[in-house]
Amino acid sequence: MSDASTHPKKKPVTVRQLRERRRILRSIGAGIGVVGAAMLGFFPVVKHWMDRLRPPGALEENKFLAACIKCGQCVQVCPVEAIHLGDLDEGFGVGVPYIDARKQACDFSCDAVQCVLACPTGALSHDVDVKEQVHMGVARLSRPKACLARQGKGIKGTARGDDFPGLHRYMEVDRWTPIPIKDHPYDLELCDLCERECPIEGAITIQRDNFDLNDLRGTPVVFDKCVGCGMCEMICPVDPPAIVIDIRKRWEDV
């Protein structure tokens, strides 16, 4: 120190100081890199790159992303393996559960919303005790012209083809175990699969278009009991489906 006061001239930088300076800069750079990489997760969330159907009982989307600890216990308890976890392209939705209803919908074959019971943080709200209290979205007849019932057509054979892997619990076949949909062919004069397989009583019915006994045509009508589980979207035999779930929509907004 006394050296510095007697020689006010600037000292040359030693190799050691230079190395230390580089080390600090490198540390700052790496720190910024890590935080920056994490912040990239904002984009998919804020820009809504992907709107996901969340499992039963999920809180409002932002709260859900905050409360979910990304453990996947909900995935493990689901008897029809409907729940999957988000990947890197979902930003802060990495590891957050979602349901792809067309591939495998939640058909409540667990009876007691197992995923909600499994959730350790309440991201799937424990306020939900029974399936009727769930609000995942609302079903909507998006392509009425494609709807078989609207055309007065029936269905013979499997609903989704012979290689569709989706599962559903048919109460009349096995009360306790879901079976592959491909193992359960139909033979119906008029397609009413959305109503027939809907797990919520009174959520959807096919209403006859007229009283002419020879004209079978009818329209699927969704009621406020609909919880948006996506069973109708999965079972709909036309491709792409005539009925879809409006994710997170509430009956009040319809």
Partner 1 sequence: MMSMLSSIAEMFGRTPGKKPDDSAYNEGARTLHESKRGAEGKKERVAAIKAERDLHPSHKWRNRRWASILLVNALFVVSFSWDVQLIEGSLSASRVFGFHMADLNAALQVMLAFKEILINLVIGTATVLLLWWLLGGRTFCSWVCPYHLLSELAEYLHLRLASMKMVRDLPMHRGVRTVLYVIFAGLAFGTGYTVFEAISPVGILSRAMIYGPGLALIWVFVLLAFEVFVSRRAWCRYMCPIGLTYGMVGITSPVHVTYNLEKCLHEGDCRTVCLVPHVLEVTKKGFALREDTDIGADCTRCGMCVDICPTDSLTYDVKGLNKLL
Binding partner 1 (rule: CB under 8 A), the pick from 94, 179, 190, 238 is 94
Distance in angstroms (rounded) separating the CA atoms of residues 155 and 55: 30
Kindly write out the interface string for residues 24-63 of this chain, putting x where it contacts partner 1 by CB under 8 A and - elsewhere. Answer: x-xxx-xx--xx-xxxxxx--x----------------xx
Q: How far is the CB of 212 from partner 1 (least distance, A)?
A: 53
Distance in angstroms (rounded) separating the CA atoms of residues 174 and 55: 24
In the bound state with partner 1, the residue whose beta carbon lies nearer, of 66 and 254, is 66
Binding partner 1 (rule: CB under 8 A), the pick from 50, 61, 71, 146 is 71
Q: How far is the CB of 40 from partner 1 (least distance, A)?
A: 8
Does position 151 interact with partner 1 (CB under 8 A)? The reply is no
Which secondary-structure segment (H or E) carries 247? strand 243-247
Q: Which of 149, 237, 233 is nearest to 185 (CA)?
A: 237
15: left (phi over 0), alpha (psi -120 to 50) or beta: alpha
**205-234: which residues touch partner 1 (CB under 8 A)?**
none
Decide: 70 and 96 in contact? Cβ < 8 Å: yes
Instruction: Read off the tokens for 220.
Output: 């699927």
Q: Where does this chain bind partner 1 (CB under 8 A)? A: 23-24, 26-28, 30-31, 34-35, 37-42, 45, 62-63, 65-73, 75-77, 84-85, 87-89, 91-92, 94-95, 118, 120-123, 126
